[in-house]
Amino acid sequence: MTNQGSGELTSLLLRSATLIDGTGAAPQPGIDVLVRGDNIEAIGERLAAPVGEAVEQIDCLGLTLMPGLIDAHCHITFGEPASNDELFHHRPPATSMLLAAFNVQKLLRAGVTGFLDADCIHDLGPALRDGIASGLVAGPRMASGMNALLTAAGGTAGRLIPDEGTLGYARTVGSIDEMVRVTRQQIKYGADWIKIHVTGLIPGRSGELSVWSLDELRAVCDTAHALDTPVVAHCRNADSTRSAAIAGVDLILHASHMDHAALEAVIDAGASIAPTFTFLANLADHGHTVGASAAQVDIFRDEIEATAQMMRAAFDAGVRLLCGSESGFSLTPYGHWHAREMELFVETLGLSPLEAIGCATRNGAFALRLDGRVGTVEVGRLADLLVVDGDPSIDVRVLGDRRRLRHVISRGQQVELSGPWPQRQTLPGEKVGNWSRQLLTWDLVHATDGA
């Protein structure tokens, strides 16, 4: 899909584009950008083509050139399950890896040139990341966590989370000693980030509850930071967001229902947030078309409304917001929704399209641990770029429409966009067969008998 490993790197000269550089600066028309290898080498008006080397010139007149998108919350190994049961019990490791390798190419095709997979099933992430980096698999730049650390109270999957040991993406840790040991082990085996589920869903209790103590969070953060590794945490209530920030968590996912105390802690600690409204909005806006339950639709709509105002306050206070789609579930299939978070930042937080684009590009570099090296179109930055037919500085939704992507450049090489979208059949044992969607009562069967 990309020309990695061919040995012959062709420089690219993108001509006459309208440039959105990702820094927040206004779009500039008539700009040329020269890419040599994985490097943006020159930017200016009417650049001279380098002589004595292969240069492909790409006419971008009337098109917008901008940094590639960075999805800060993407579960590439999950394989689009429709339920937690399917996610935890129908995904053998080898199959999951094949599926991830199949799916990750779709991100590039959708203009995503970088992503963070904070927690992956069967600890597959680092091997996939390395496979992409070495050219075995076509995919974007990837940063990876391993299993998410959970306490015995569980995470988002209620009682499917085991009391100890590992299952799917979950690693249940029972004591501070074990938290410290597993953190060190994960770093040894290649984790770029350590992921904690600070809140968990406990059947019969409303919302998610904080299931980690401050001391426990601190133990993981201190251990990871001592080994130069950042920590990312799932926090779906105000209290967890506050304690995660105080403990030193670097990137908070969701920060749902954030209150003033939590925001203050986030600001004081300099933590970043990826709200990940996309999953919630997909369920709230479109869940009915794919058979989601009405109760779930309401919960998720409320969560966006309850969170948006404080998230805007966070943005105004200078908190770095990142765009994440939570792609990887049946409600967020790969390659379809990576740009929607920008749209939601505009709609629900009142950000300008350029501000939202900055969240998905410049700010996203933090998730890749490449802050200041990728995510903007500036001389000396890594060469991840998009060329799109439309003006995302006016309507950011054009970035969600793959038909408008003219060129995707990943690590300095063009991604092939013209082939058919990757298709596959259901794998044996992959799907959970439901016996029915409702109870087969006697009344239901006889309701039309006129009795």
Residues in touch with Zn ion (CB under 5 A): 326
140 and 113 in contact (C-beta within 8 Å)?
Answer: yes
Residue placing its CB nearer to Zn ion in the complex, 21 or 326: 326
Residue placing its CB nearer to Zn ion in the complex, 326 or 343: 326
Question: What is the dihedral angle through the alpha carbons of 383, 389, 394, 396, rounded to the nearest 10 degrees?
Answer: -70
Residue placing its CB nearer to Zn ion in the complex, 123 or 326: 326
65 and 20 in contact (C-beta within 8 Å)?
Answer: yes
- Block residue for tokens 């990826």: 274
Residue placing its CB nearer to Zn ion in the complex, 208 or 326: 326
Least Cβ distance, residue 197 to Zn ion (angstroms): 9
Least Cβ distance, residue 73 to Zn ion (angstroms): 5
What number of helices (H) and strands (E) belong to the chain? 12, 20
Least Cβ distance, residue 45 to Zn ion (angstroms): 43
Alpha carbon distance 282, 293 (integer Å): 13
CB within 8 Å of 288: residues ≥ 6 apart: 294, 297
Residue placing its CB nearer to Zn ion in the complex, 14 or 252: 252
Point out the residue whose Cβ comes nearest to Zn ion: 326
3-state secondary structure of 34: strand
Least Cβ distance, residue 75 to Zn ion (angstroms): 6
Q: What is the DSSP string of 65-129?
A: EEEPEEESSB-TTT---SSHHHHHHS--HHHHHHHHHHHHHHHHHTTEEEEEE---GGG-HHHHH
Least Cβ distance, residue 218 to Zn ion (angstroms): 23
Residue placing its CB nearer to Zn ion in the complex, 126 or 412: 126
Least Cβ distance, residue 79 to Zn ion (angstroms): 14
Alpha carbon distance 332, 87 (integer Å): 14
Alpha carbon distance 403, 110 (integer Å): 9
